[in-house]
Amino acid sequence: MTDRQKARISSRKQPKQARSADLVAAVLDAAVQVLAKEGAQRFTTARVAEKAGVSVGSLYQYFPNKVAILFRLQSDEWRQTSELLRGILEDARRPPLERLRILVHAFIRSECEEAAVRVALDDAAPLYRDAPEAKEARISGTRALHAFMREALPQASEATRALAGDLITATLSQVGKQFSETHRTPAEIEAYADAMADMFCAYLGALGRC
């Protein structure tokens, strides 16, 4: 096992008092700013502590190393994205394809709004992507999509639903990342999301008729 795989990526402890919570929030806010400006390669605990206005010792009370900070930012991003998408996919008031369209628009907007940090986190991913904590964080984001696929394609086989879910997830992730790496206007984002949603809806519609 390499040193990178051994590196501790979990926080040392969770803040229990308001003052401690404020310190952690300041560190994470500073980390986002440093990451967006400096990138993953020049991201250090010293730069984060300086930006946050705290001592490195105070930072180390909660984060053992820079990898732990980066993983916290990544896991927070996974959690926020999962909550956003789950809220849309589980909205039973709307038909499945309408939910899918809303999801695509929300995801593409989110990718573009946070592109600088997402690109930097992608660069840092090799530091923690094989860790058990990272795998567990990713698993939770797939459950809502699987449930949605069962609702959207009730007559399809489990294998067909799994393939459709994987294709949609991979396309959103890869194409959304590539699209967001260039500055986009609101009109461009809207048009692109519409086209992608049309493609996904046509695909699921075809599978539903099979």
How large is the angle between the packed helices 186-209 and 96-113, nearest 10 degrees?
150
Reduce the DSSP state of residue 160 to 3 states and report it.
Answer: helix
Q: Is residue 200's pLDDT more than 90?
A: yes
- The answer to whether the beta carbons of residues 124 and 70 sit under 8 Å apart is yes
Contact 168, 200 (CB under 8 A): yes
pLDDT digits (tens, 9 = 90+) for 30-46: 999 998 888 888 899 99
What is residue 3's predicted lDDT score, i.e. its pLDDT?
42
Q: pLDDT category, 191, cuts 50, 70, 90?
A: very high
User: Could you tell me the CA-to-CA distances from 98 to 30, 44, 159, 176, 190 in Å, in that order?
Assistant: 38, 43, 23, 19, 15
**pTM beyond 0.85:** no
The CA distance from 141 to 175, in Å, is 18
Residue of higher predicted confidence among 127 and 83: 83
pLDDT at 142 over 80: no
Is the pLDDT at 156 greater than 80? The verdict is yes
CB of 109 closer than 8 Å to CB of 193: yes
Tokens describing residue 188: 């461009």
